[in-house]
Amino acid sequence: MTERRVRAYVGLGANLGASETTLSRAIVALAACDGVRLRGVSRLYATDPVGVTDQPEFRNAAVALEVLSGPDVEAGALALLGELKRLERAFGRRPRRRWGPRELDLDLLVFGRAHLAIARTPEARSLDTEADPAKAVKLLEVPHPRAAARLFVLAPLADLAPGLVPPGWGRSVETARRQQIALEGPDTVRPVASWDASTGRWLPLQPR
């Protein structure tokens, strides 16, 4: 019997070291994970930091994946999150303060039609729990609870699924993106490259 598959969306971010190279390598690593099929990669964006502004600008992107659903939706989402946290560690992620700089950040944004708020397994906990023990009991919430108000998430997600209406949003990703641009301004998130699937690298966009 073939196990059911789920469309998931993952946000990627980095602002330490060679961020663009880190994100391209992380996408290739994600695509190589057991049971994962890469279905789309957004453009790469240069984004202003949020929360803690005294740090380098970020590079952000998003990917569309098809993943195994697992025995139930909760187990499937936790398994994928655990894989994301494993990759963060493999790419040198260190415990840091909230909204601080990141070697690599991988966020589970959407997992099919699931609307979850469940306890994380040890494997799915953020590495930042070492810097902030309060995060040790943080729930896995899907869709990501702050995605609808973050332009650096909405812009790449809209590249992949502009008409998607995540559970609980009541509006499409594209509508949320436009509303957030009106609040933050168009220059806070700037497309800088597109994904070349043949090489697994970013191709710089030509200035308009």
Q: Is-catalytic flag, 54?
A: no
Helix axes 173-184, 151-160, angle to 10 degrees: 150
Contact 120, 139 (CB under 8 A): yes
Catalytic residue among 48, 107, 132, 178: 107
The answer to whether the bond into 122 is cis (omega within 30° of 0) is no
Q: Is-catalytic flag, 105?
A: yes
Rounded Cα distance, 190 and 8, in Å: 24
Catalytic residue among 43, 59, 93, 177: 93
Catalytic residue among 59, 105, 125, 150: 105
Q: Is-catalytic flag, 107?
A: yes
Rounded Cα distance, 151 and 173, in Å: 10
Rounded Cα distance, 47 and 59, in Å: 6
Catalytic residue among 43, 59, 102, 177: 102
Strands 44-47 and 37-41, bridge-based pairing: unpaired
- Active site positions, annotated: 93, 102, 105, 107
